[in-house]
Amino acid sequence: MRAASPARIAWISASSADARSTFRDALKLGLKERGRFEGRDYVLEEHWGDGSRERSDPLVAEMLRSKPDLIVSQGPVLLNVQRSQTSLPVLFSYSGDPVEARLVDSLAPPGRNLSGITMMALELVGKRMEALAEAVPGLQKVAIISNPAHAGEQGEFKASQAAAVTLGLQIEYLPFQSENGLDAALAAALRSRSQALMVFPDGGMMRRSEQFAEFASQNRMPAASGSVSIRS
């Protein structure tokens, strides 16, 4: 009896292989722990965008032409995969609300060919605000920097508002949508005399986490996020 061919899994990310290979390595480790070995049970075909958003659509088209059995998508390129209207099964990790982003019909069951996990946890927003209050004695004002186009951002903002009311804090809301806008938002946080910084996580924020850490350290402004927390 002829053995079945290994499943062909397409890994696709807009990031560079060096920048985000830890996510791919975690996938391999998880499969190994479940008795699925690369080469024997599956072949991983990697598609990397090298950090270029302009390459996302061509990258998805290239990946679909290879006709994999399964697509694993991570990062902003997931939305390009969705727009391709592929009927292939897609597993994803997403920093926002997948229902609001129309990736799935509901959290359980997803109802489409896309399924995965969301890293958004609104119940932790208040905890991060509490952590900032503990880090800054006499904290009065927190600057919130976020991308309003990110699915679920308003949910995070409302949860932050509720936590701020409970803690007796003021909020300086500084939304931005462009790369240049982020620099302007950080400058506005300083002008507002905020004593701490809250960063709502999305793919763009994660890519610039070092910039946030450097800004917070240079200005002695404790910062918290869903992806990184530091105290200067």
The strand pair at 229-230 and 223-225 is best described as: antiparallel
**Per-residue pLDDT at 20:** 56
pLDDT at 65 (0 to 100): 95
Residue 73: Cβ within 10 Å count = 27
One-letter amino acid at 193 equals R
3-class secondary structure, 108: coil
The pLDDT value recorded for residue 206 is: 74
Which residues have C-beta within 8 Å of that of residue 227, sequence separation ≥ 6? Answer: 95, 119, 201, 205, 206, 209
DSSP letters spanning 190-214: HHTT-SEEEE---HHHHHTHHHHHH
pLDDT of amino acid 231: 38
Give the pLDDT of residue 228. 47
CA 129 – CA 81 distance, rounded (Å): 34
Residue 185: both structure tokens together: 């938002």
Nearest partner of 31 among 17, 11, 48, 5, judged by Cα: 11
Q: Which pLDDT score is estimated for 19?
A: 58
Could you read off the pLDDT tens digit of each residue along the chain, which spans 232 residues? 445 789 999 999 887 766 557 788 999 999 999 999 999 999 999 999 876 777 889 999 999 999 999 999 987 889 899 999 999 999 998 888 999 999 999 988 888 899 998 888 888 888 999 999 998 999 999 999 998 988 999 999 999 999 999 999 999 999 987 767 888 899 999 999 999 999 988 877 777 778 888 998 999 999 988 754 333 3
127 φ/ψ angles, rounded to the nearest 5 degrees: -65, -40
Q: Taking the alpha carbons of 86, 88, 93, 97 in that order, is the dihedral positive or negative?
A: positive
HSE at residue 128, side-chain half, CA atoms within 13 A, is: 28
Q: What is the DSSP letter of 228?
A: -
Cα-only R_g, the chain: 20
Give this prediction's pTM: 0.79
Which pLDDT does position 2 carry in this prediction?
A: 47
Sheet holding 70-74, edge to edge: 42-48, 7-13, 70-74, 90-94, 114-118
| pLDDT score of 17 | 67
Per the CB < 8 A criterion, the answer to whether 229 and 198 are in contact is no
Is residue 20 a contact partner of residue 30, using CB atoms and an 8 Å limit? Answer: no
Contact (Cβ atoms closer than 8 angstroms) between residue 150 and residue 200? yes
For the chain, the helix, strand and coil percentages under 3-state DSSP, each to the nearest 5: 40, 20, 40
Residue 139 is predicted with a pLDDT of: 95
Domains annotated on the chain, with CATH? 7-118 (3.40.50.2300), 122-230 (3.40.50.2300)
